[in-house]
Amino acid sequence: MRSKVTNRVLRWTGIGCIALTGTQCLPAQWQLQTSNTTADLRGIHNVGNGVAWASGTNGTILRTEDGGYVWQTCSIPPGAEKLDFRGIQAFDANTAIVMSSGKGDLSRLYKTTDGCHTWKLVFTNPDADGFFDAIHYASDKKLYVLGDPVQNTFALFLSDSLGDTWFAAGDKGRESHPNEGAFAASNSSLTNYGEFLLFGTGGSEHPHVYWTGGKCYPPPGHPGGLPVFNCEVVWNSSEVPMAGGAAAAGIFSLGAIAFTAKNGTQTAKVIAVGGVYDHPDQPDQAAAFSVNSGKDWTAAQTPPHGYRSSVAYDDKTKIWITVGPNGTDISTDDGKNWRAIHPNAALHEAADADRNWNALSLPYVVGPHGRIGKLDPAALK
DSSP string, 122-158: EEE---TT-BEEEEEEEETTEEEEEEEEETTEEEEEE
**Model pLDDT, residue 221:** 54
For residue 200, the model assigns a pLDDT of: 98
Tens of pLDDT along 122-139? Answer: 999 999 999 999 999 998
Judged by DSSP in three states, 319 sits in strand
The C-alpha atoms of residue 22 and residue 65 are separated, in whole angstroms, by: 37
332-347 residue pLDDT tens: 999 999 999 876 666 5
For 326-331, the CB contacts below 8 A with 24+ separation are 326/280, 326/281, 326/355, 327/354, 327/355, 328/12, 328/354, 328/355, 328/357, 329/304, 329/305, 330/380, 331/271, 331/300
At the top level of CATH, which class does the domain 31-208+236-375 belong to? mainly beta
Spatial separation of the C-alpha atoms in residues 75 and 381, rounded to whole Å: 38
pLDDT of residue 345: 66
Nearest CA to 288 out of 306, 274, 267 is that of 274
For CA atoms 258, 165, 177, 231, the dihedral sign is negative
Q: What is the pLDDT of residue 213?
A: 79
Provide the residue count of the chain. 381
What gap in Å lies between CA 34 and CA 54, rounded to an integer?
Answer: 13
pLDDT at 181: 98
- Judge contact between 282 and 275, C-beta under 8 A: yes
Q: Under 8 Å CB-to-CB from 252, ≥6 apart: which residues?
A: 183, 185, 186, 188, 189, 200, 202, 273, 274, 275, 277, 307, 308, 309, 310
How far apart CA 278 and CA 306 sit, in angstroms, is 11
The segments of the chain whose pLDDT lies below 50 read 1-28, 224-226, 228
pLDDT at position 4, please?
A: 28
Query: Can you say how many angstroms the Cα of residue 61 is from the centroid of all Cα atoms in its chain?
Result: 17
pLDDT at 32: 84
